[in-house]
């Protein structure tokens, strides 16, 4: 008789397990979207939801149509394959109506460091600098044209040249 008494604990546990499973199945019916599984392990309606989001990026072709002078400089420089919006942010609104917003001129001391801070994980041929030693805290655009950053590849403005001269020519 003691075997049945011990088995009673198992039956109660099995009953609780079945009830929990039924509650889970009921809640799942309300929580999981009807289109889930339509395209494998995805929600089918997500495609329409994503397509309805407004376009944020214009693409470098849209920038190059108006800014041909910068595009010419950029195509000859080391940043030829870097899209404009990688540095200036999403510009679809500006491309659609240039008067609606002005593109952000990024802080070169911060932006350039994102890619060019020295790291052993980067390829050996990739330009890397120790930011603190390289520039003495000056923005990179003081000495480098961001669109063609090799010094001497494109003449800098007189303001940049005078800033470099004033700081003792730090590079």
For residue 168 the two structure tokens come to: 């003792």
- Residues 43-92: tens digit of each pLDDT: 889 989 999 999 899 888 888 898 999 888 888 888 888 888 888 888 88
pLDDT surpasses 70 at 159: no
pLDDT surpasses 90 at 100: no
Residue 29: C-alpha distances to residues 6, 39, 63, 115 (Å)? 36, 18, 48, 47
pLDDT surpasses 90 at 10: no
Specify the pLDDT at position 167. Answer: 38
- Residues 17-48: tens digit of each pLDDT: 999 999 999 999 999 998 998 888 888 899 89
What's the average model confidence in pLDDT over 134-144? Answer: 83
Domain residue spans in the chain? 2-51, 55-104, 106-171
- Residues 101-125: tens digit of each pLDDT: 888 788 888 888 888 888 888 888 8
**Between residues 168 and 117, which one has the greater pLDDT?**
117
Specify the pLDDT at position 2. Answer: 56
* CB-count burial class (<10 Å; 0-12, 13-18, 19+) for 48: exposed
Specify the pLDDT at position 4. Answer: 66
* 55-104: CATH number: 1.10.287
To which H or E segment does residue 69 belong?
Answer: helix 68-75
Q: What's the rounded Cα separation, in Å, for the pair 26 and 32? A: 10
pLDDT surpasses 70 at 155: no
């Amino acid at each position: 008789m003691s075997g049945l008494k011990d088995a009673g604990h198992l039956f109660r546990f099995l009953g609780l397990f079945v009830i929990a499973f039924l509650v889970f199945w009921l809640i799942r019916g309300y929580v999981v979207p009807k289109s889930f599984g339509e395209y494998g392990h995805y929600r089918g309606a997500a495609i329409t939801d994503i397509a309805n989001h407004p376009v944020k990026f214009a693409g470098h072709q849209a920038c190059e149509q108006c800014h041909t002078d910068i595009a010419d400089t950029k195509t000859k420089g080391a940043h030829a394959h870097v899209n404009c919006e990688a540095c200036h942010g999403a510009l679809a609104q500006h491309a659609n109506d240039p008067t609606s917003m002005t593109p952000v001129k990024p802080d070169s001391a911060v932006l350039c460091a994102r890619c060019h801070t020295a790291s052993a994980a980067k390829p050996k041929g990739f330009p890397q600098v120790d930011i603190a030693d390289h520039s003495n805290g000056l923005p990179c655009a003081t000495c480098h044209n961001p669109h063609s950053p090799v010094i001497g590849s494109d003449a800098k403005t007189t303001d940049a040249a005078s800033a470099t001269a004033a700081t003792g020519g730090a590079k």
